[in-house]
Structure 1
Amino acid sequence: MSGFIWLLLSLLILTVVLHVVARVLRVPVVAESCRRAAWLPTHWREPLEEGKEVRFQTADGVWLSGTYLHRLTESSRGTILYSHEMNGDRWNALPYVEHLRGAGFDVFTFDYRNHGRSESVSGGDPAPEVTHADMADLTAAVRLATRHADMAGRPVGVIGVSKGAAIALRTAAEEPLIRALVLDSIQPARRRDLRSARLFNRSWLPVRRFVRRRDDRVDLARAAQQLRAATLIVHGQDDVDVPLQFIRSIATRIPSECQLWIVPQARHAEAMDVAAAAYRTRIVDFFARTMHTAPLPRDAELPRLAPAKAIPRPLHLASSGTGRNAP
């Protein structure tokens, strides 16, 4: 009899342990979990026929593809760059930035390396973590926007979604040319950061207190402390992948102007779908107010034009440093 009781007790303990592990690690074992995984794209967009195709080169010699979309007004308020999600491409920008063109903003959207029509490099397969290669891509795009004939001399803002938001945050901490940021559903920069973020929702775990003491070691937290750009953070109230408390911890570290907009009933990267009208109004107003024209920092290293003999159609531009000819 005692052996049977011990067996039941062991099964009960095993059940509790497995339940705790599943809640903490959130192992995706069903299709719904996979659908909600922040690094899996949920939809793709058809390319626009309009726009000017641009090929440009990063500092480490990788050729990227982008599209310049001209504003729909006579005068320009600045240029907005779109930083797309993991496994997305430049055309994921359309729901987010199309209305900005009507408000007087030029738009530049591009494919990160190993995405879309940009060059694929060995060992550069997409991953949830933010890498120096990701930052090099966005830095090249930002500096291109300050030199390209259609965008030169105008303030630059960036809107990023999910991993694209994390890349934008990290890059803006080091790139003074970025004047304003809209960060939608910031994805933690490293796998262990995501695990730490999820612990913020486990108030009953003793480790939560430890995580709060040590979260200043998270890359995004350090980057947030260095931001100089005005920042609008957008996050879904029902985002189960990146808890709101983690996002608040990032927002409180930003020394420059920072607004945090929590969208009710929105999950990861769903704010535009849930509150489209309010979303469009808010980001247009934010960029219009914060992207005032000012001289470019003198210490910024601007991209150079590629040699004329290396410029096929469409136009190819290159950032500083030498590299391969455009593929």
Structure 2
Amino acid sequence: MNGQVADPTRADVKELLNDRNGELSRLAQGLLGTGNTNRFFYFPTHDEPTTPANWGFRYDDVTFPSSDGTKLHGWFMPAKGRQAKGTVVFSHGNAGSLSHHLGFVMWMVEAGYQVFMYDYRGFGRSKGELDRKGMVEDVKGAFDYVLSRKDVNPKKLVSYGHSLGGAKSVTALAEKNPSGLRAIVIDGTFASYQAMARIVGGQFGADLITDEFSPKDFIGKISKTPLLVVHGDQDEVVPLSQGKELFTLASGPKTMFEVKGGHHGDSLARNDGAYRKRMLEWLDGVM
């Protein structure tokens, strides 16, 4: 390895998050083949092909409790070479383990943020069974853990969620919003579980699952924290319309980056990182 962090490229997205012919076809198979609706959207792995140390970054390997006591695993990375601008809690998408999602956050460590990323229950080294409600509790537990650290400024917190992670974060933060939360970023996030099921299974698919804990029902409750919605206009997994719906429903201060040519997972990395720069500038304005 050359010491530089790989971006989540198009190939990575296909492998880890899967494109419409992968992720959503497996969702369709789940809709048709099982009655366990908690598992329709989740494709965890338990491997760990790389760690921050492989890229020259320091990190703490930690275990911490979800808000319901389930034992979870995460990595805490201090800002590289400077005093931290703030602390980012990153909630990843519905496939792989935290190891597969390093490319989403390492650039933020280099930009001066310390980052805590973690695996939900049933993913990676975290314990417990896959469960829609339980994963919302995992987001709350991640914030509780970060706030327990002495090296974290409790008044400068950022929530960053990709895809499913954005959905879980919105729901969790509507129920329990830390007083020091300065910003919420959701990237490629859907508004409704049933809407996603309908894309591949029609009304039959949508009827098989509930819309419980869908972010569309919670995002309007977050009225004070600035929100950034990032969505690619070529997202094959979560249509742009889903991101636009969340943006419309948001009741607080809000901004949207509609990324031309952006796919599911590569929007912020496109145009040589131009949208990363815009996101950092946006964060500077709200921190």
Q: Shorter-normalised TM-score: what interval?
A: 0.7 to 0.9
* Residue in structure 2 matched with residue 233 of structure 1 by the alignment: 229
Percent identity for Structure 1 against Structure 2: 23
Instruction: Pick from 272, 275, 280 the counterpart of residue 279 of structure 1.
Output: 275
Q: Provide the C-alpha distance between the structure 1 equivalents of 2:182 and 2:106, rounded to a whole number of angstroms.
A: 20
Matched, 1:220 2:224: no
CA contact (8 A) 2:189 2:242 kept: no
For residues 114-134 of structure 1, give each alpha carbon's deviation from its aligned partner in whole angstroms, at most 9, with x where no partner exists. 111111x2xx237xxxx2211
Q: Structure 1: which amino acid aligns with 2:187?
A: D
Q: Structure 2: which amino acid aligns with 1:72?
A: K
CA contact (8 A) 2:87 2:153 kept: no
* Residue in structure 1 matched with residue 11 of structure 2 by the alignment: none
Q: Provide the C-alpha distance between the structure 1 equivalents of 2:81 and 2:272, rounded to a whole number of angstroms.
A: 22
- How far off its partner does 1:281 sit? 0.7
- How far off its partner does 1:51 sit? 0.5
Distance 1:45 1:163, change over 3 A: farther
Unaligned runs of 5+ in 2: 1-18, 28-40, 204-210
CA RMSD of aligned residues (A): 3.1
- How far off its partner does 1:169 sit? 1.4
CA contact (8 A) 2:185 2:227 kept: yes
- Give TM-score, length-normalised by structure 2: 0.73
CA contact (8 A) 1:163 1:188 kept: no
Q: Provide the C-alpha distance between the structure 2 equivalents of 1:140 and 1:226, rounded to a whole number of angstroms.
A: 20
CA contact (8 A) 2:20 2:236 kept: no
Matched, 1:67 2:71: no
For residues 177-230 of structure 1, give each alpha carbon's deviation from its aligned partner in whole angstroms, at most 9, with x where no partner exists. 13311111103452x23245x49xx9xxxx9xxxxxxxx998322211111321
* Residue in structure 2 matched with residue 115 of structure 1 by the alignment: 123
* Residue in structure 2 matched with residue 34 of structure 1 by the alignment: 22
- How far off its partner does 1:276 sit? 4.6
* Residue in structure 2 matched with residue 48 of structure 1 by the alignment: 52
Q: Provide the C-alpha distance between the structure 1 equivalents of 2:21 and 2:113, rounded to a whole number of angstroms.
A: 37
Distance 1:255 1:77, change over 3 A: same
* Residue in structure 2 matched with residue 183 of structure 1 by the alignment: 186
Structure whose alpha-carbon radius of gyration is higher: 1
For residues 99-155 of structure 1, give each alpha carbon's deviation from its aligned partner in whole angstroms, at most 9, with x where no partner exists. 222322111111111111111x2xx237xxxx2211110101112111212224342
Q: How does 1:189-200 map to 2 (within 5 A)?
A: 189-190=192-193, 192-195=194-197, 198=199
For residues 271-309 of structure 1, give each alpha carbon's deviation from its aligned partner in whole angstroms, at most 9, with x where no partner exists. 145345113212222222212xxxxxxxxxxxxxxxxxx
Q: Provide the C-alpha distance between the structure 2 equivalents of 1:276 and 1:46, rounded to a whole number of angstroms.
A: 24
Distance 1:185 1:101, change over 3 A: same
Distance 1:259 1:113, change over 3 A: same
* Residue in structure 1 matched with residue 150 of structure 2 by the alignment: 149
Q: Provide the C-alpha distance between the structure 1 equivalents of 2:264 and 2:274, rounded to a whole number of angstroms.
A: 17
